[in-house]
Amino acid sequence: MTYDIKKVAIIGTGIMGSGIAQLFAQAHFSTVLYDAQQGSAQLAKDKLSQTFEKLCVKNKISETQCQTAIQHLSVANALAELSDCDLIIEAIVENLTVKQQLFQELESLVSPQTILASNTSSLSITSIAAKCAQPERVAGLHFFNPVPLMKVAEVIGGLKTAPNIVQQLKLLTEKLGHRAVIAKDTPGFIINHAGRAYGTEALKILNENVSTIEDIDRILRDGAGFKMGPFELLDLTGLDVSHPVMESIYHQYYEEPRYKPNPLTRQMLEAGTLGRKTQQGFYTYPAQEKESIDSTVSVHISANFPTIWIGADFLKDRQILEKYLTDLNIAINAAEIPNPKSLCILAFYGEDTTHACLRYATDPAKSVAIDMLYDFTQHRTLMPSLLTSSESTEAAHAIFSADQTSLTIIQESVGFVAQRVLAMIINLGCDIAQQQIASVDDINDAVRLGLGYPLGPIAWGDHLGAEKILLILQRISTITFDPRYRPSPWLQRRVALNLPLTFSPA
Ligand code: NAI
């Protein structure tokens, strides 16, 4: 069947429906608005017209573009008025029965060629289509809020969706100027699925008392390169939105430990501390002036440690550390076994300092670990053991902040903070690829555009070193016995065969 999409209807003109309508009207599709709530569609049309006028005043669009976009908007007062539409997108209440009923009713009104799409974020497309006479014409077209700015949409085919419909929706989405990624009908599709690792692992780290909310955010933002720390992000989204998504994906995947939510966010949700919208979440709003701690002033490189001994899993990390120390005129003890007077700096992956001290046979009192996974020049994380003396910690602190690079000291954590979070994100991306939920390119682009990460998860794995990511997960799995860290077969095979993580057989 061929489809020529010219006239589009948007049902449900709330936040999402209005945003989707804006895209279509701007791309010169005849766009009909319908909402069950009387007056809502007209209100949405009026607001959109104002939006176009504002964009014109700001020179983002021309006067002609503004007028053309407005002319392409119209309002329907009854579903029957949508009978000649080529595509109908619903953005109504997130309720399976209501969506099923709407699609059944639409089928009795529209032509057999009309494509029916749902903007659902959490319901199965297959389930929505299950009550339809022609489930092959039902697909997911999932935009993100705010629609005009979030330049990505997931196109989802249910079990019975015709592949041609998925392709048509992909082409159409690209005409709107958005990147279309194709996802299998699975819980969370790509973006809400891939987004589970960041907040979930950060909450687990907080729960283990590894560090403070501020410091976990700082490590991941300033060190690992996220735009926002996980707790800043949870506060922005609001726990009323994000906690139910965490629970829903966890249950929809039959209690898969990778997605296990944290009791803390349920409790905060019940207490009404949702984030920015309630002025209280992980932080208090409006933000209070943060005390700036100048870590370089009060600590001095200790004369009690004439040399530094380095234990490193990877030669490159050793070289970076040696160069840094040499530039500071600090003597390095290159002996295989540390001199009893040396301060031992351990650069390892997927362990805590205690386990690393045993492996390197160093004195825990004189051992301090450093996370070398992320850019050493941006930020540093140090991790003493339970027995590390304050003198050793202070010396390491002074050394690694001597060039004014910001630094955070954390309590023991199997795999530091950034290693754990990044390895979980990359491993989840690999699992999504392994399950063929989407292609590698689509996973990477969906996550970059939809979640705002600097790189897609699979590309990020290659950038940091897949071998390191696998080592982190293997060691954490061995030490913690927690199945959430088990490495994806996708990751294991590619590391074993020395292939990039982006490799897919032709
Ligand atoms: P909203 O509450 O802002 O808007 C929903 C609109 O649908 C309302 O105007 C309501 O009057 C109308 N409506 C409800 N039932 C209807 C029916 N049976 N027939 C016609 N109109 C009906 O909701 P929002 O946030 O725009 O979400 C809409 C859909 O988009 C949901 O499926 C949601 O899961 C999905 N979504 C929401 C995102 C978000 O960030 N808010 C992101 C991506 C998807």
For the chain, domain boundaries: 7-185, 193-290+419-506, 308-405
pLDDT, tens digit (0-9, with 9 covering 90-100), for 461-475: 999 999 999 999 999
pLDDT, tens digit (0-9, with 9 covering 90-100), for 245-288: 999 999 999 999 999 999 999 999 999 999 999 999 999 999 87
Q: What angle do CA 463, 447, 244 make, to 5 degrees?
A: 130
User: What is the pLDDT, as a whole number, of residue 184?
Assistant: 98
- Of 68-77, 294-303, 380-389, which gets the smallest average pLDDT? 294-303
Alpha-carbon gap, residue 502 to 267, rounded angstroms: 39
Helix H, strand E, coil C: the string for 179-240 is EEEEEECCCCCCHHHHCHHHHHHHHHHHHCCCCCHHHHHHHHHHHCCCCCCHHHHHHHHCHH
Is 142 part of the annotated catalytic residue set? yes
Name residues contacting ligand 1 (CB within 6 A). 11-17, 35-37, 40, 91-94, 98, 102, 119-121, 144-145
Amino acid at 428: L
Cα of 200 vs centre of ligand 1, distance in Å, is: 26
Q: Is 297's pLDDT higher than 50?
A: no
Structure-model confidence comparison of residues 298 and 73, the more confident one: 73
Residues 6+ apart with CB under 8 A from 113: 1, 3, 86, 137
Confidence of residue 115 (pLDDT cuts 50, 70, 90): very high
Cα of 216 vs centre of ligand 1, distance in Å, is: 34
For the segment 114-126, the average pLDDT, to the nearest whole number, is 97
Confidence of residue 295 (pLDDT cuts 50, 70, 90): very low
For the segment 384-407, the average pLDDT, to the nearest whole number, is 96
For the segment 102-112, the average pLDDT, to the nearest whole number, is 97
* Topology agreement, domain 193-290+419-506 and domain 308-405: no
* Chain centre distance of CA 52: 31
What is the best residue among 10, 11, 16 to mutate for testing ligand 1's pocket, by most ligand atoms within 8 Å of CB?
A: 16
Give the CATH architecture of domain 308-405: 3-Layer(aba) Sandwich (3.40)
Q: Does domain 7-185 have CATH number 1.10.260.40?
A: no
For the segment 184-195, the average pLDDT, to the nearest whole number, is 98
Confidence of residue 304 (pLDDT cuts 50, 70, 90): confident
Q: Is 296's pLDDT higher than 50?
A: no
CB 466 within 8 A of CB 500: yes
Confidence of residue 4 (pLDDT cuts 50, 70, 90): confident
Confidence of residue 209 (pLDDT cuts 50, 70, 90): very high
Give the CATH architecture of domain 193-290+419-506: Orthogonal Bundle (1.10)
User: What is the pLDDT, as a whole number, of residue 299?
Assistant: 56
The single residue of 118, 192, 262, 367 carrying the catalytic annotation is 192
User: What is the pLDDT, as a whole number, of residue 300?
Assistant: 62
User: What is the pLDDT, as a whole number, of residue 289?
Assistant: 65
